[in-house]
Chain A
Amino acid sequence: MLFRERYEHELRLVRGSQAWVVAGLAGALLLALPFLVKGYLVYNMTLFLVYALVALSLSVLVGLTGQVSLGHAGFLAAGAYVFVLATQHGLPYLLAVLAAVLVSAVLGVVIGVPSLRLEGPYLAIATLGFGLAVQQILTNWRLVGASRGTLVDRPVILGIDFYGDRAYYYLVLALAGFVTWMLFNLERSHVGRAFRATRDADLAAQMSGIGLARYKTLAFVISAAVAGLAGALYGPLVGYITPEGFNLLLSIKFLLMTVVGGLGFLPGALLGAGFITGLDLVLSTFRSWSQLTFGAVVIAVMMLEPAGLYGRWLKIKQFWKSWPL
């Protein structure tokens, strides 16, 4: 199915038999992976899943509604720290995760509402400031270890210990998989179309009865909540969190994932997260050349492929499908 010809096509989550095969293979691979590779790769895969959530959350915000954010490490930090505080106060795991998501969502409102009137560079700098402010507040907040950071334990849920790499991987995979599925559904729903309408022509969207303020804020809230969830998963994964870890560089990396992967496509965010996490892993033995190489790769992607990695994938797919036309 090369083109979407009917409204039902538009509504489908997985389009066409080949897509089913790809999705099935990817799912099977993700499930089998911990038994195929060594522990450190399981760790890196889990980190990829966490970063993929952040990249997805940014993709909803930047890709679907066109609001740029250079402060998503701030939401990640908020999620991670709320999770730690909640578990320290004896909240069970899932409630602690929920608390992290809720607090981040509230922060999303706090940032989203003043951002309604902002666009482009103004919004970029305002969100950048949000990220820095979160970092500074945490650095001076004694309750959560201030600049020394704090240790985070892996959870025990209903007597099941998730300390091991595989166990924790499956926990993250389950939660990340569920949220990814929700976001893919959201994109196809009327909300997703409203998001895209505000991005492409906000005045026209408003004329068509889409409440700009409502949808723009909603995008911020969803994005912040998902990033907060990623934060709650990030803490126990790394085992130790410190304010300096949630810096501007990390926020920039998340934006890189989203754009390099392919802006406006949710699968692109997944590709981008995998690409950047993998690039970091490969470059860790490049010594003094690593930063230059990283920058050069990013430049190359932006210069060669306007729609990012996912765009390239779509083109390759189109080429084979329509071959030899």
Chain B
Amino acid sequence: MHFFSQSFQYEHPWSHVIIGMWHKYPNSKCTHVVSVDTLDRSIDPVTGIIRTERVLGCKQKAPTWIVKLFGGSEDAFVREISFVDPATQNVTITSVNLSLSQFATCYEQIRYSPVSPNRTAFTQTAEVQARLALWRSAADRLEQWLVQRFEQNAQLGKSGFSDVLRNLWEERHQASP
């Protein structure tokens, strides 16, 4: 598992950052985010907490070896769930990749909380984890398949060579009586 984290303070009131959050894309430095769609949104009528589920579409070139090994394409999609709680002035955003998720997951968590009337703390953590169980079972299946294929070929090799030897010596035998 690999980790990433950073924290930072924006020099804007919390409410401005949170209003701005919905305007984050497109921006000229994040051209890899090409689409943003809301799939679900609910406003809790008691707590006032807004939960939003979105899908972000990204386009970013992957190294050739990754594309060759895992397939996939330039298009990658991410599921994002956010909670906006005005009463506690707390926002969390959790994101996880949908594309290539059978191989590895990148789990990101962002939090915005007020520091002072004009400052907002931003913290971001991410965990990247390959699905080892899956790797093991895939590796297992690959080994099994290789062994089976080897056995089949070994059988064919044995019987094929038997034929070759028989034909060769039968011919020679007949040619020189």
A, B bound: no
Which positions in A face B, CB cutoff 8 Å? Answer: none
Question: Which B residues have a C-beta under 8 Å from some C-beta of A?
Answer: none
